[in-house]
C-alpha cells in the first residue's frame, strides 16, 4: 500500500513539472514588449526610418519648410588664423622713477584715462635739495667767471692781456656753463623748473607725469611706500592703436598680402563684426611653429578690446564660385554638420505617390566661408545635379530626426 502511494506522488510531481515548462514556453512568444517588437521590426526591415523621415504636404506648410537647390555663389576665399590683440610699443608705458623716494600722493586710480603730461604720482626725495643747492651755487659762481671771461676778452682785443690768462678764463667759463647746463637738465628730468629754484622755491618733491595718453592699468604701489628706480609704479596703455598679431602657417603664407581685409571673431563678442586690414608681415618664423606673424590693424577699435585677448582672423585672399546654401539650411549636431535633401529614390518616390508625402534624408557636409547669408557646403557624398535641399526649416527636421532616433533606441 505504501508502494502504490509513493508511485502516485511521483506521477503527480512529473505532471506538474511538465505543465510549468509548457506555460513558460508559451509566455516566451507573447511577453515581448511593444518596444522590443518595434526594435525587432527595425532590425528586420525598418532601418530606413532612422536614416530619413517623411512629412506630408500639410506638415510642410504648417512648419514653414521651404525646399530649394544648391546654388553657385561668388564667395570670398579665406585663410583662417588665430592670434592675440596687442598695442605697439610706443602706445604702452611703464611708470618708473629716476631716483628712489617715498610716495606722498597718488593722483589716479586704475582704469582712469589720463593725458600726456598729467601728474600721476608725487615722490619725496631729500637728495633733490642737494641737487638744487648745487645748481644755485654754480649759478652764483658763474657770474664771477663770466665777468672775468668778458674782461679778458676786452684785454685781448686791446692787446693788453696775456694769452695764458685769457685761455684760463675761457676754460673756466666753458666748464662752469657746461656744469650749469647739466644741472638744469637733471632738474628738468625730475620735473623741477630751474627758474623757480632761482627765485628761491626749493622743493623736495618730484612730480611723476604721464609720458603718453592712455588708460591706467595695474597700480603696483600705495601712499607711503618706497619707489625704487627700475621698479614700475603703474602702467599706461593706449588702446586707440590696438591691432592683432595673427599666426599664418607656411602653406598659406603665399596667399597673404598687405592690404587684404580681415574679419575678426572674438570669444567674448561672437555677434559683433570687427573689420581690419593686413599692414605688415614678418619675415621670420615664430619659434618652431613654422608660422609667421601677420599684423592686422583694427579699423574701428571698441572700448572692450583689450591687449592679450585671443582672436580668430578670417583673411580674405580672393573670391571663387562655390556650392552654397542659406546659412539656416545647415544644422550642427555632435560636432558634425548636415543638410537635408529630398530623397527621390525608388521606394521614396513610390511612397510619395501613394500618400503625397515627402521623404527627407540627412547628408553630412563640410562648410567653408559664410557671407551675405550664404555658406559654402561640400557634401561628403556625391549628390545628383538637380538635388533639392531644405533651405528653411532644417532645424525642425533635425529635432524630429533626433526625437525619432531616441525613440527607436
pLDDT digits (tens, 9 = 90+) for 109-118: 999 999 999 9
Does pLDDT of 47 surpass 60? no
Q: Say if residues 291 and 250 touch (Cβ distance below 8 Å).
A: yes
pTM over 0.75: no
Write out the three cell numbers for 376.
559654402
Q: Place 406 in a pLDDT band, splitting at 50, 70 and 90.
A: very low
Q: What is the per-residue pLDDT for 159?
A: 76
pLDDT at 55: 84
Which pLDDT does position 272 carry in this prediction? 64
Q: Which residue has the higher pLDDT, 203 or 231?
A: 231
Please compute the mean of the pLDDT values over residues 89-118 and round it to a whole number: 91
Q: Assess contact for 295 and 260: CB atoms under 8 A.
A: no
Band the pLDDT of 119: cuts 50, 70, 90.
very high
pLDDT at 33: 44
Q: Is the pLDDT of residue 311 over 50?
A: yes
pLDDT score recorded for residue 34: 41
Arithmetic mean of pLDDT, 302-324: 82
**φ/ψ bin of 304: left (φ > 0), alpha (ψ from -120 to 50), beta (otherwise):** alpha
pLDDT for the residue numbered 346: 45
The whole-number pLDDT of residue 27 equals: 45
Q: In the chain, which segments carry CATH 2.40.50.100?
A: 95-237
pLDDT average, residue stretch 270-277: 73
Counting residues of the chain whose pLDDT is more than 70, the rounded percentage is 80
- For residues 232 and 175, give the distance between their C-alpha atoms in angstroms, rounded to a whole number: 36
pLDDT of residue 131: 86
Domain 47-73+322-408's class? mainly beta
Residues of the chain with CATH 2.40.30.170: 78-89+238-320
Find the mean pLDDT for residues 386-403.
Answer: 84
Contact by Cβ (8 Å): 214, 116: no
Burial of residue 244 (CB within 10 Å: 0-12, 13-18, 19+) is buried
Question: Taking residues 82-100, what's their average pLDDT?
Answer: 89
Beta bridge partners of 118: none
With a cut of 50, say whether residue 320 has pLDDT above it: yes
363, 377 in Cβ contact below 8 A? no
Q: Work out whether strand 310-326 and strand 331-333 pair parallel, antiparallel, or are unpaired.
A: unpaired
pLDDT at 17: 54
Of residues 200 and 223, more confidence is placed in 223
Per-residue pLDDT, 145: 85
Expressed in percent and rounded to 5, the helix, strand and coil fractions of the chain are 35, 35, 25
243 near 275, Cβ under 8 Å? no
What pLDDT score was predicted for residue 196?
A: 80
Average per-residue pLDDT for the chain: 79
Burial 308-347 (b: 16+ CB within 10 A, else e): ebebebbbbbeeeebbbbbeebbbeeeeebbbbbbbeeee
Mean pLDDT of 216-243: 90
**Does residue 305 register a pLDDT over 90?**
no
- Asked whether the predicted pLDDT for residue 9 surpasses 70, the reply is no
The CATH fold assigned to 95-237 is OB fold (Dihydrolipoamide Acetyltransferase, E2P) (2.40.50)
Distance CA 254, CA 155 (A): 77
Q: Higher-confidence residue: 155 or 227?
A: 227
- Contact (Cβ atoms closer than 8 angstroms) between residue 338 and residue 403: no
In the chain, residues under CATH classification 2.40.420.20 are 47-73+322-408
Looking at domain 78-89+238-320, which of 3.30.428.10, 3.30.70.270, 2.40.30.170, 3.40.1710.10 is its CATH number? 2.40.30.170
**Region 339-346: what's the mean pLDDT?**
78
Amino acid at each position: 500500500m505504501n508502494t502504490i502511494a509513493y508511485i502516485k506522488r511521483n506521477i503527480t510531481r512529473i505532471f506538474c513539472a511538465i505543465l510549468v515548462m509548457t506555460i513558460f514556453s508559451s509566455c516566451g512568444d507573447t511577453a515581448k514588449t511593444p518596444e522590443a517588437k518595434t526594435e525587432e521590426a527595425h532590425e528586420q526591415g525598418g532601418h530606413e526610418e532612422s536614416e530619413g523621415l517623411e512629412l506630408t504636404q500639410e506638415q510642410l506648410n504648417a512648419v514653414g519648410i521651404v525646399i530649394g537647390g544648391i546654388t553657385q555663389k561668388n564667395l570670398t576665399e579665406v585663410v583662417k588664423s588665430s592670434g592675440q590683440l596687442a598695442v605697439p610699443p610706443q602706445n604702452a608705458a611703464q611708470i618708473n622713477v629716476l631716483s628712489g623716494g617715498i610716495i606722498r600722493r597718488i593722483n589716479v586710480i586704475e582704469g582712469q584715462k589720463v593725458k600726456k603730461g598729467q601728474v600721476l604720482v608725487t615722490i619725496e626725495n631729500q637728495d633733490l635739495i642737494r641737487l638744487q643747492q648745487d645748481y644755485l651755487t654754480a649759478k652764483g659762481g658763474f657770474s664771477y667767471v663770466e665777468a672775468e671771461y668778458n674782461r679778458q676778452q676786452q684785454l685781448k682785443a686791446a692787446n693788453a692781456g696775456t694769452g695764458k690768462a685769457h685761455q684760463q678764463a675761457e676754460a673756466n667759463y666753458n666748464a662752469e656753463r657746461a656744469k650749469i647746463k647739466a644741472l638744469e637738465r637733471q632738474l628738468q628730468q625730475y620735473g623741477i623748473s630751474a627758474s623757480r629754484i632761482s627765485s628761491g622755491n626749493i622743493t623736495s618733491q618730484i612730480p611723476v607725469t604721464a609720458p603718453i595718453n592712455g588708460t591706467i592699468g595695474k597700480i603696483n604701489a600705495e601712499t607711503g611706500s618706497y619707489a625704487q628706480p627700475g621698479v614700475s609704479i603703474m602702467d599706461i596703455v593706449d588702446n586707440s592703436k590696438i591691432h592683432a598679431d595673427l599666426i599664418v602657417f607656411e602653406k598659406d603664407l603665399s596667399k597673404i598680402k598687405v592690404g587684404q581685409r580681415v574679419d575678426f571673431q572674438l570669444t567674448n563678442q561672437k555677434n559683433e563684426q570687427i573689420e581690419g586690414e593686413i599692414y605688415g608681415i614678418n619675415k621670420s618664423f615664430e619659434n618652431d611653429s613654422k608660422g609667421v606673424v601677420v599684423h592686422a590693424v583694427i579699423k574701428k577699435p571698441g572700448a572692450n578690446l583689450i591687449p592679450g585677448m585671443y582672436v580668430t582672423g578670417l583673411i580674405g585672399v580672393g573670391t571663387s564660385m562655390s556650392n552654397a546654401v542659406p546659412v539656416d539650411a545647415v544644422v550642427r549636431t555632435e560636432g558634425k554638420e548636415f543638410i537635408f535633401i529630398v530623397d527621390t529614390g525608388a521606394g521614396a518616390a513610390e511612397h510619395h505617390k501613394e500618400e503625397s508625402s515627402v521623404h527627407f534624408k540627412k547628408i553630412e557636409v563640410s562648410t567653408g566661408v559664410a557671407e551675405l547669408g550664404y555658406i559654402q557646403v561640400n557634401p561628403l557624398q556625391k549628390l545628383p545635379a538637380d538635388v533639392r535641399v531644405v533651405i528653411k526649416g532644417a532645424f525642425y527636421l533635425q529635432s524630429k530626426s533626433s526625437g525619432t532616433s531616441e525613440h527607436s533606441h
